């Protein structure tokens, strides 16, 4: 554990952590080491490339977002989705055929980098409309697409949350981060947290200290009920009982489809048998875990 872990995660604060919780803490340096020791390098690529990942999920019978379109200079394909290799063809598709709302992101990205939510297209002005009402011309949007790894850019189905989650958090998708260990005798889910969106965020990324404004909630692994919920106000980490936007109680909330989520996590983890230390983002929707 480094000094930055100690202060950023408030390990000095006995009001936030019991001695037992502190004993289980693993800092970011150890996480990097565990990844190198436990995970096969060749297998990691197939998990981080979202086109390969979605194809494997679909072929293995697991639910994942529908791919509406792919943008790549060599027209990569996956899951039967239309693929475009030049700006003009993608612009036409966005004007004439795209299903809105649509969630966009690079094929290889993390921490919500490069994500965007487009809610509609205005034929009269030839503009795409963002979730916050701002607009951008189709040509400008396509010209500014950023693909840092050269693996392509995705246009994905915008998933809706389960009605019980929407009641508490609003109509936005908050995924669970599920941590799975793959052992010789099978897979085991060892921990899960709920990443709760707030404000105008289109993503549920929490960050190491909650700097995004989102919340992070602990989950009782036996029951699927929410325990502590933490976030940040200014520079201070704080605890929440209710969602700051809806005012609905979060403590004790039962995650829908909890047993189904645990079962799906353990089974899906075996798609990558040489990745022994896995993190999954699973959203609970009206059609179950996705």
One digit per residue, pLDDT tens: the chain, 290 residues? 677 778 777 788 887 788 888 887 877 778 788 888 888 888 888 888 899 999 999 999 999 999 999 999 888 888 889 999 999 999 999 999 999 999 999 988 776 677 889 999 999 999 999 988 999 999 999 999 888 777 899 999 999 999 999 999 988 888 999 999 999 999 999 999 999 999 888 788 887 666 778 899 999 999 999 999 988 877 677 889 999 999 999 999 999 999 999 999 999 999 999 999 999 999 999 999 99
Q: What is the rounded CA–CA span in Å between residue 36 and residue 277?
A: 10
Report the predicted TM-score, pTM, of the whole model to 2 decimal places: 0.85
pLDDT in the model for residue 208: 66
pLDDT in the model for residue 23: 83
Q: Which two tokens stand for residue 162?
A: 């389960």
Q: What is the rounded CA–CA span in Å between residue 107 and residue 85?
A: 15
174 closest CA partner among 268, 232, 253, 259: 253
Residue 133 Rama label (left phi>0; alpha psi -120 to 50; beta): left
DSSP conformation letters of 87-113? HHHHHHHHHHT--SSEEEEESS--TTT
Neighbours of 247 (CB within 10 A): 8
Pairing of strands 277-285, 127-130: unpaired
């Amino acid at each position: 554990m480094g000094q930055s872990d100690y202060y950023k995660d408030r390990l000095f604060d006995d009001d936030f952590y019991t001695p037992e919780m502190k004993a289980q803490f693993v800092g970011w340096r150890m996480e990097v080491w565990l990844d190198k020791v436990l995970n096969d390098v060749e297998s990691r690529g197939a998990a981080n490339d979202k086109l390969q990942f979605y194809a494997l999920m679909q072929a293995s019978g697991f639910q994942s977002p529908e791919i509406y379109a792919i943008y790549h200079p060599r027209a990569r394909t996956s899951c039967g989705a239309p693929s475009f290799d030049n700006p003009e063809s993608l612009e036409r598709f966005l004007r004439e055929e795209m299903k809105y709302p649509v969630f966009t992101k690079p094929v290889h990205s993390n921490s919500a980098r490069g994500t965007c939510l487009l809610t509609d297209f205005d034929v009269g002005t030839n503009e795409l409309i963002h979730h916050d009402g701002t607009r951008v011309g189709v040509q400008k949007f396509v010209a500014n697409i950023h693909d840092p790894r050269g693996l392509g850019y995705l246009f994905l189905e915008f998933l809706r949350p389960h009605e019980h989650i929407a009641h508490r958090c609003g109509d936005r998708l908050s995924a669970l981060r599920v941590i799975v260990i793959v052992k010789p005798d099978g897979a085991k889910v060892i921990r899960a947290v709920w990443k709760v969106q707030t404000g105008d965020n289109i993503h549920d990324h929490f960050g190491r200290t909650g700097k995004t404004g989102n919340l992070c909630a602990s989950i009782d692994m036996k029951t699927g009920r929410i325990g502590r919920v933490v976030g940040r106000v200014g520079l201070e980490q704080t605890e929440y009982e209710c969602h700051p936007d809806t005012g609905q109680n979060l403590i004790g909330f039962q995650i829908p489809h909890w047993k189904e989520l645990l079962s799906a996590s353990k089974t899906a983890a075996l798609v990558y048998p040489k990745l022994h230390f896995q993190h999954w983002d699973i959203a609970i929707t009206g059609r179950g875990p996705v």
